[in-house]
Amino acid sequence: MILFILLYLLADSIYSYKQHLAVPIDGDFANIVLPAQHYQQVLLDPFGINAVSESSKHAGANRFFIHKFMHVYFKKMPLFLQQFMDPVSSLYNSIAIIKLVLQLAMLFLLSQLITSTQNFRSKELFLGLIILIPFFQSFGYNDQMGIIFKPITYTCFYALPIVALLWFLFPYLLALRNGHFIYISPVRSFFMGMLLIMLPFSGPLISPLILILVPLIILGFFVSNASTKWPSQLNFSKIFWLIIIVLLSLYAMFLGAYNAENVGNHSITIFEKYQRMPKGFFDLISAKPGLAVLIGFALINAILVFIIKDKNVAHKKLLYFISAFIGMYLILLPFGGYRDYRPNIIGTDVFLPIILALLIFTISSSLFLINRLPAAYRIIPAAVFVIFTWADKPNFYYNHCEKNNLMGLNDLKKSENLIEDDCTIMAWDKIGDPTYSITNVKLLQELNVIEELKLYYQK
């Protein structure tokens, strides 16, 4: 059985990689990787000390480590890959590689949390893994409930730091479920120490998630050890890590006030933000059936977990924890930075933590219920599995137009060139002014895609 699942995982990885290769490059990519002028300051001020001391604002003030990662990785990896392929292909492959790495890392982390085991010989772990796979939609429901987002910038700013956060908190989350901590080796301690400093300055969601999850984790230990004054699992060193990361997260939240990208944050009041959230949720859930199916699946399992009489109450505790997390997250969400492209507060990007929380509960409870309910119950997870597998149809040539235009840039004759095709080219929309393409062509020149700076525009 494990061999079959590994073969299925390999086949899915190849399929996902080909899907990731077919995604167009988003409009923020070149601005961050080059970087454009407005993102240069964040690379010089990692912890925002200059911004605070000088009371000045700059873009990405509390997101240094993701900016730095994108700047270094996408400057180095395409050049390395050019030993084996042409420059344009090296760019798309460098994007597909990091997406697949994050996808596999997220799959294995979630499956271990779901099954409460690190034993890679465990059939239950691999069963959880195979149920998880269809929810990683490369196309299909990606725009509605993406985990590895189509835009690589969103994948780096949301999925990447969440994977790192899950890995950092993994010993605590697993201890909550199992009652004891896994062995933390010196190597793991070293990397946890690095993440302790890096995580609060790695993306828009990480500091708020830390400030929600850490209190819930500590509360969970106290509830599980109600008969003692202090939970035996939380010795000084383990609580010290949590205290430090909370303090750094509080500072990172404060530093967000110096993020120039948040200047429109006060354009609407907090009350107005709460008023807009139901519409944001409705727009998200009604776009395609995927999210509604997942939420319905979770609700069915929640009801069954409470109805079934079993001495094992672990899944009820998990439901309480997940419910508390989702409730706190939604309550605090309007206090985050406002964005014009997300006018109703709730969007695919900020909904990612809720998607992951729902998956952890739903699949964990499904594995529990499969062994305690009649065989007819298996129809539900099987149907969900089929729905999500069927939805992610192949789109291997989705970026064919963009890729062809990038390959043809060297053949352009003028300093400013009209491109007739309707597809976007490293942009969110068609570029109507040739000066707006200058950041793109500068990066493409650095990556050997073009030899000379030739601007382009579209109508």
Same domain, 426 and 336: no
Same domain, 386 and 417: no
Residue 124, helix vs strand vs coil? helix
User: Which of 338, 371, 391 delimits the end of a domain?
Assistant: 391
Residue 232 has pLDDT above 70, yes or no: no
* Whole-number Å distance between alpha carbons of 221 and 224: 5
Same domain, 439 and 350: no
CB 181 within 8 A of CB 175: yes
Residue 298, helix vs strand vs coil? helix
**Mean pLDDT (whole number) for 202-229:** 87
Same domain, 417 and 335: no
Q: What is the mean pLDDT of the chain?
A: 92
Domain residues for 370?
2-391
* pLDDT band, very low/low/confident/very high, at 459 (cuts 50, 70, 90): confident
pLDDT, position 226: 57
Number of domains within the chain: 2
Same domain, 78 and 104: yes
Indicate the range of 47-51, 334-338, 387-391 predicted with least confidence.
334-338
**426 or 221: whose pLDDT is higher?**
426
Residue 417, helix vs strand vs coil? strand
Phi-psi region of 116 (alpha: psi -120 to 50; beta: other; left: phi over 0): left
**Other Cβ atoms within 10 Å of 157 Cβ, number:** 26
Which amino acid would we find at residue 57? K
pLDDT, position 83: 97
User: Which of 391, 414, 433 delimits the end of a domain?
Assistant: 391
Torsion sign (Cα): 404, 407, 410, 411: negative
DSSP string, 241-260: HHHHHHHHHHHHHHHGGGBG
Helix, strand, coil % over all residues of the chain, rounded to 5:
70, 0, 30
Residue 376 has pLDDT above 70, yes or no: yes
Same domain, 328 and 425: no
Residue 266 has pLDDT above 70, yes or no: no
Residue 416, helix vs strand vs coil? strand
Tokens at residue 174, please?
Answer: 């697993």
156-177 pLDDT tens trace: 999 999 999 999 999 999 988 8
Residue 227 has pLDDT above 60, yes or no: no
Same domain, 429 and 384: no
Q: How many helices (H) and strands (E) does the chain have?
A: 20, 2
Same domain, 314 and 421: no
* pLDDT band, very low/low/confident/very high, at 119 (cuts 50, 70, 90): confident
**Mean pLDDT (whole number) for 319-344:** 90
Same domain, 265 and 162: yes
* Whole-number Å distance between alpha carbons of 35 and 42: 10
* pLDDT band, very low/low/confident/very high, at 223 (cuts 50, 70, 90): confident
User: Which of 351, 374, 391 delimits the end of a domain?
Assistant: 391
Residue 363 has pLDDT above 70, yes or no: yes
Same domain, 296 and 438: no
